[in-house]
Amino acid sequence: MQLTVWTYEGPPHVGAMRVATGMKGLHYVLHAPQGDTYADLLFTMIERRGERPPVTYTTFQARDLGTDTAELFQKSARDAYERFQPQAMIVGASCTAELIQDDPAGLALTMGLPCPIIALDLPSYSHKENWGAAETFYQIVRQLADKARVAPPREGRRPRANILGPTALGFRHRDDVQEITRLLGDLGIDVHVTAPLGSTPLAIAGLGEADFNVVLYPEIAHEAARWLEKTFGQKHNKTVPIGVGATREFIAEVCALAGIAAPADADAGRMPWWSRSVDSTYLTGKRVFIFGDATHAIAAARIARDELGFEVVGLGCYNREFARDIRAAAKLYGVEPLITDDYLAVEEAIAAASCELVLGTQMERHIAKRLRLPCAVISAPVHVQDFPARHSPQMGFEGANVIFDTWVHPLVMGLEEHLLTMFRDDFEFSDAAGPSHLGHGAATPAHAEAPAMADAAEAPTPAAVAAHVEAGGWSAEATRELMKIPFFVRGKAKRNTERYASEKGVAAISVETLYEAKAHYAR
């Protein structure tokens, strides 16, 4: 473990809490000290849920360590059952409680509570949140799915599938489920059970009655889907429907699993039309850096290159369990994969890539803001603004439309901001100018009377330039001049200038160096 001020994933018991909070009729008894109850805020404040997570904390304090904390856990578990009457309970320990080795799982199994008890072994010091969610869901499915309940014969009914993987606090999981449920319905496929999100322990018991499974989030559902395939013979999809191309492949794949014909004219949304339009040409070839969970990062790279014409200059993920998938995808784009949960390493990689758009998590949003780069959020972890009240999926054709808006708007708004900056000294755009639609009686701009001193100012001496050299060899004046260049060509101008300075042996880049480089590469 390492001390950090920001992390991409919480400990594994937070993943278990995401599964429990997404379900109904399931209660989580968490052996945890006072202070480890902060996770409630993730759901009530960030996801803006109308109810608290179904979690009972033992909440032992320092003074309790001299007594029997195991007895405290048993009392909490017994009280939780009597109060909430759940269909099933999961029990485990937080990362801090793990150190006192009370074995809450073993204690709960010996209590004789009148509901299924699912013991969780989530080692906090070797695994993290997504693994914890996947392990929790796998244990729930393995222990609650009734092996005697299998899919009935297909005669006289439509094919049906389970949707696996969505949880509470997931990035657009609620909206993705709605979109994929509608898509499957349009294909003639019924959804049998969606789990964990919106499911119950009783519904989990009937998972085997579906014909096949649809895995939306492999980080959460891959292991459970493998067990269902081994136990019930249920196949599952390999393509995650994020983006137009992936959604088309997903449709063909699930139709094959369902044994039905795939439609020839699947709706593709508006992204393909826009990508072919003249309006998109000024974004073609833009350099994009992508980082997030593996599923969303890999999907984003495909969309960026194949559907929007961007150039992928960086690709990485923070969940090491899917490092192999990221490495395979990075090889396709000719970039070095970045597998890390250190946000400082990510920031360093973004700065080195000289990209023009960042696609990442909430952390990359902050990094991009510091580096003055456009950014769009594509993956958890996210903040409250990425849990919109409106329908805003990432999957399916409507998800492709949302992605188009989310990615292109930061670039377009960056252009607008540049134009406002470019014309800020124009008399019609000055803050002191009156509204132009009120005639010619507008106030005279305050700066109009000021003498034009810029032309009379003497050129800075080499010593003065050297005194203002910033990181990377740029003087303050050259940096300000660089910022006047439109964002969508600024990166190229910066790279060309630095290459020119290196070739000419210029240590400090001045305004003159910037324009000499421009003239050199314009020949």
Max CA pair span of the chain: 90
- Binding-site positions for [4Fe-4S] cluster read 36
**Binding site members for substrate:** 414-415
Cβ atoms of 8 and 363 closer than 8 Å: yes
Binding-site positions = 36, 414-415
Could you give phi then psi for residue 342, rounded to 5 degrees? -100, 110
Measured over the CA atoms of residue 127, residue 133, residue 134 and residue 140, the dihedral's sign is positive
Angle separating helix axes 476-483 and 487-504, nearest 10 degrees: 140
What's the sign of the alpha-carbon dihedral 345, 351, 354, 359?
A: positive
CA distances (Å), origin 485, targets 414, 426, 523? 12, 17, 19
Give 3-state DSSP helix, strand, coil % of the chain, rounded to 5: 50, 10, 40
> DSSP strand E in 420-503: where?
none
* CB 196, CB 19: distance < 8 Å: yes
Nearest to 93 by CA among 116, 52, 123, 65: 123
From the candidates 279, 325, 425, 426, give the one annotated as an active-site residue. Answer: 279
Cα dist from 343 to 32, 219, 292, 348, 462, whole Å: 28, 20, 11, 9, 38
Residue 455 annotated to the active site: no
Catalytic positions are: 279
